[in-house]
Structure 1
């Protein structure tokens, strides 16, 4: 390939490994010396050991709870809490929703203004000008890779859509990924988050902005997801499976932030906004049909596109067979979704009548821009209908 050029950006530091959560208090103290806003999920007690560790180091804490996926209203409330308490650091401890909320709060606390001043698609899209308040991102699920991405996905109840607050200035100072934090995760969470991670490895690998660095991460992540996700959900979530899933999620975040995504996530943003459906589960519902329609469109309209051969490579990585066809890879994904009892989009309220509106919103989504080729409205409608 000639004329190759790309950029790669991520958290200032990535700390990975079982047991590394014990290092969190000292890591946080090295970044912020006064009061810390701890953003948590619906069970704030999970943050108790961290708060005790920070207290021993002389740092006071304020807890802000995120229930469900982050909205504009919630982020406004969290930002006001951080500013009123005089917090000079933010820790996000939880799943992707918590991490996204923490990133948005840290950005707005430093830049001022309203989320709509900076939000893509439905906001004013102004650039952030100040680095976020120092942020430590600690994922407790293995799906979004949000600990190493430069955006936060926020829902708008009024617009019935999700859109991103995005800037390199939002990258966490530290991403601390401890696979042991996955222990005890419910199967439904492992399944939906794990399939979200898999889609965030496959989509950047076949997308129009793939580059050699994200390719290497995607290949390794797909292998690890393929060998451990089914086992983790249906059999045993042991230390090897936890490590594989945590790495797959981390690598997926690195890939999407530096290459892009595609139609799966192009649909996921409006579906989540229209029906308040969990992001990972939506991506899982969409993945098989999106892969199949994309492959067919590529073979029909762009048979020499490099993504065509990449679909075959994905199949080899998923099945462990170098001779596997692209169709066998897609069948492998479909069978995995069936084995993990992934519900269709109809489960969350989508009906055939709303598909045209969904297609219109999906076409405008930022993730759609990196799809390997532009899909027609008929093709997008087919994906939505087949994912019901």
Structure 2
């Protein structure tokens, strides 16, 4: 077997395990004493960490970050002159913290570095050390090199991206996700599932990302289905691992049409990213199956994915993608119509998605008509 050349980059250190958050203050102190702590909308949920650190300035990230929120946070953060940036929260919080860690020492403007709507320039000064503690199992942002930022004026979500933005420490304690509300668990979990499937199918897959995805894809749906029935620490652990694996895989391989469409839809509607991905996953898998040539490597991989998804759904592999959509919607996931995607916006979204960075690794080059058909299929629960 001839192995392809590839590279693999991630956080400088990954610590995974239930209960490891108790060690967070010790690890953070190794990077500096003046701490910028980025947390979610409820500051009480961050009190345990804030109270364990000696010199802390807090910034709340109350939703998926946009350009104006980032600009305001950056002014406050620079005034505090932190030595280390810490994120305690979901993917939006971690993205905000990664962006701040990158931009606090940067001499230029935010738009100098944003893709698509800005110049997309690389960073010229090293970011501050950044520590990520995820409290949801979805984005894998604790091990990725980009931060997703909304630009409402352009009706887009775009990335600030640089290899130097990889966190210095990703501390993944599944206990921090315990008790997460079902709606968030479902949406973030489907995002995590998407992020181990798309890198497995994409054109830049490599042996290391394949190994991560092959282990994680069969774990995801059974764990998510258990959490639909009851709180389950073992299922939380599994989903945290799937999410981490997805972050590692997407950062080193790529994504595809689900995320290519989701970035545009998120900028258009403000709907939660995970819910958008969940609504799109099955229609994109079906469209890939329809486009895959008989006997092609893509068809073989799609058959593997279907075979991994089918058993927990209780169906044959040829019905797995439809059954996945039916289960997700039955569990409470809205279709794109319920997430604010208007029928008349489909063509515009399809055209904009074609130039999304996530589309570059798609195993099928979908034209705008094919993407609009995917949007139609994802519009309403069947």
The 2-side partners of 1:114 and 1:325 are apart by 53
What's the offset of the Cα at 1:336?
A: 2.6
2:15 maps to what in 1? Answer: 15
Alpha-carbon distance in structure 1 between the residues aligned to 2:113 and 2:58 = 25
Q: Does 1:352 align with 2:352?
A: no
Q: Which residue of 1 aligns with 2:271?
A: 277
Greater shift in the superposed pair: 106-115 or 88-97:
106-115
C-alpha deviation, 1:195, in angstroms: 0.2
Which among 100, 107, 116 is matched to residue 105 of structure 1? 100
The 5 A counterparts of 1:335-346 are 335-346=326-337
1:63 is matched with 58
Aligned residue among 127, 151, 155 for 1:156: 151
In the alignment, the residues of structure 1 paired with residue 320 and residue 302 of structure 2 have an alpha-carbon distance, to the nearest angstrom, of: 8
Q: Where does residue 172 of structure 2 map in the other structure?
A: 177
Is the deviation greater in 271-280 or in 121-130? Answer: 121-130
Partner of 2:370: 379
Matches within 5 A, 1:12-91: 12-33=12-33, 35-55=34-54, 60-91=55-86
Quick check: 2:150–2:267 contact (8 Å CA) kept in 1? yes
TM-score normalised to structure 1 length: 0.94
Stretches of structure 1 lacking an aligned partner (at least 5 in a row): none
Match of 1:289 among 283, 288, 295: 283
Q: Give the drift of 1:150.
A: 0.4
**Aligned mates of 1:352, 1:213 — CA distance in 2:** 40
**CA distance in structure 1 between the aligned counterparts of 2:317 and 2:311, rounded to whole angstroms:** 13
Q: Would the alpha carbon gap of residues 220 and 3 (structure 1) be closer, same or farther in structure 2, given more than 3 Å must change?
A: closer
3-state DSSP class of the match of 1:138?
A: strand
Preserved CA contact (<8 Å) 2:193 2:217: yes
CA contact (8 A) 2:310 2:317 kept: no
Contact 1:70-1:97 at 8 Å conserved across structures: yes
Secondary structure, in 3 states, of the residue corresponding to 1:136? Answer: strand
Q: 1:272 to 1:125 in 2, by over 3 A?
A: same
Cα 1:249–1:3 change in 2 (3 A) is closer
Instruction: Give the TM-score normalised by structure 2.
Output: 0.96
Structure 2: how far apart are the matches of 1:368 and 1:325?
30
The CA deviation at 1:49 is: 1.0
Distance 2:67 2:297 in 1: 39
Report which stretch shifted further, 328-337 or 248-257: 328-337
Residue by residue, what CA displacement relative to the aligned partner does 1:77-97 show, whole Å, maximum 9, x if unpaired?
222111101111100100000
Residue 111 of structure 1 aligns to a residue whose secondary structure is: coil
Structure 2: distance between partners of 1:44 and 1:341: 28
User: What number of residue pairs does the alignment pair up?
Assistant: 377
